[in-house]
Amino acid sequence: MKPFEYRTAHSIAEAIGAGGSGSAFLAAGTEVVPAIRDGLLQSDRLIDLLPLGLDRIERTDDGLRIGGLARLADIAVHPDVLARAPALASAIEQSATAAIRAMGTLAGNLLQQVRCPYYRGAAPCNRRAPGSGCSVARGDQRHAALMPLSFHCAAVHPSDPAVALASLDAAVVIEGPDGRRTVPLDQLYPGAGGAPGAPSVLGPGDLIVALDLPAGRLPGRYAKIRDRSSFDFALVSAAGGLRLEGGIVAEAVLALGSIAWKPWRARRAEALLVGRPWSPGLVRQAVAAELSVATPLEGTRFKVELAIRAASAVLDPEATP
């Protein structure tokens, strides 16, 4: 049997030093443990991060800081999160199941692997076996991207919290071999042309230590459309909100989920909304304009309408009094 090592990290520096090639970070294990079993994790050494703590949720001078290892369930019921970032709390409570939310960490959720059915099978998949091809073109497209960022992979990023965090302008605080850096949430994922197997822009030894949520953002809501009403990944989701002044849109935020391998901050739609009198038709027009650059597959075309409906649910003035 292949040798396999488990060790715990007791400081961030120790974790970073032990990370890197051949090693994988372990937090709750909900993602890593089945990956070991399925032979999808190449590493033969696990570095357990949970002894680091890094699970505090605290107010900062400029907003809220959530430790990377905070458990999803704890974040969703934290009073400061509920008050300032209800979209995040709602996105968490619509994710996975109570046990997985109780176990899973925020950083682990953001770094989860693809849920495309072909990734965990024997069919060609460029993420599992680079160069083998992507089975989506002639296969099941229901969960595929409306806005693929790469010719190599048509998968969507499956995280609900990531979509809410993108709408809240969250920043990812990363510590790694080169020190500390901060990356906007929607740039955590490799863009067009990125290596098809890489789930994020993190390098070997990089560790998400916290998420920073700046103050003064629209609290927003989260709407998730899925095949089952619980315990299912989104077909399309939306996070965001708006603020009206005398019926005119003064501020609008929208992020769309499960349409690409990253939460899709809909800046074009936001710009089209601001300064115009709010109406359901305006929201429809703005989201359609955002998605006009999409080149849907036959099996993903229906997601344009789903995205409009999910966005309409969060960009409703009744929802953000």
Partner 1 sequence: MEVRLTVNGRERGAEVDPRAALLDLLRDQFGLTGAKRGCERGECGACTVLVDGRPTLSCLTLAVANGGRSVTTIEGLADGDRLHPVQQAFIDHDALQCGFCTPGQILAAVACLDAGRANTDDEVREWMSGNLCRCAAYPQIVAAVRAVAAAR
CB of 56 to partner 1, least distance (A): 17
CB of 129 to partner 1, least distance (A): 21
Contact 296, 146 (CB under 8 A): yes
CB of 276 to partner 1, least distance (A): 37
CB of 103 to partner 1, least distance (A): 6
Q: Does 83 participate in binding partner 1 (rule CB under 8 A)? A: no
CB of 191 to partner 1, least distance (A): 30
Q: Does 121 participate in binding partner 1 (rule CB under 8 A)? A: no
Q: Using the minimum distance from each CB to partner 1, give the nearer residue, 3 or 246.
A: 3
Q: Using the minimum distance from each CB to partner 1, give the nearer residue, 90 or 300.
A: 90
CB of 248 to partner 1, least distance (A): 37
The phi-psi region of residue 304 (left if phi > 0; otherwise alpha if psi is between -120 and 50; otherwise beta) is alpha
State the binding string over 230-249 for partner 1 (x if CB under 8 A, else -): xx------------------
State the binding string over 30-59 for partner 1 (x if CB under 8 A, else -): x--xx-xx--------x-x-x---------
Residue among 12, 14, 24, 29 that touches partner 1 (CB under 8 A)? 29
DSSP 215-238: TTS---EEEEE-SSSSS---SEEE
For the chain, what's the residue count? 321
Which range of residues in 95-103, 108-116, 204-212, 217-225 is near partner 1 by CB under 8 A? 95-103
Q: Does 214 participate in binding partner 1 (rule CB under 8 A)? A: no
DSSP H stretches of helix in 168-296: 267-273, 280-290
Distance between CA 255 and CA 10 in Å, rounded? 36
CB of 261 to partner 1, least distance (A): 22
Q: Does 204 participate in binding partner 1 (rule CB under 8 A)? A: no
Q: Using the minimum distance from each CB to partner 1, give the nearer residue, 73 or 154.
A: 73
**Contact positions with partner 1 (CB under 8 A) in 98-117:** 98-100, 102-103
Q: Using the minimum distance from each CB to partner 1, give the nearer residue, 54 or 273.
A: 54
The set of residues, in sequence order, having a beta carbon less than 8 Å from that of 288 and lying 6+ positions away, is 304, 308
Distance between CA 107 and CA 162 in Å, rounded? 10
**Nearest Cα residue to 17 out of 210, 172, 176, 200:** 176
Q: Using the minimum distance from each CB to partner 1, give the nearer residue, 101 or 157.
A: 101
DSSP 83-98: HH-HHHHHHHHTSS-H
Which residues face 207 on adjacent strands?
A: 175
The phi-psi region of residue 7 (left if phi > 0; otherwise alpha if psi is between -120 and 50; otherwise beta) is beta
DSSP 55-77: --EEEETTEEEEETT-BHHHHHT
Classify residue 120 by its DSSP letter: T
Q: Using CB under 8 A, count the residues that bind partner 1.
A: 25
Classify residue 311 by its DSSP letter: H
> Positive or negative CA dihedral for 154, 148, 280, 230?
positive
Q: Does 85 participate in binding partner 1 (rule CB under 8 A)? A: no
**Contact positions with partner 1 (CB under 8 A) in 61-80:** 71, 73
Footprint on this chain of partner 1 (rule: CB under 8 A): 4-6, 26, 28-30, 33-34, 36-37, 46, 48, 50, 71, 73, 96-100, 102-103, 230-231
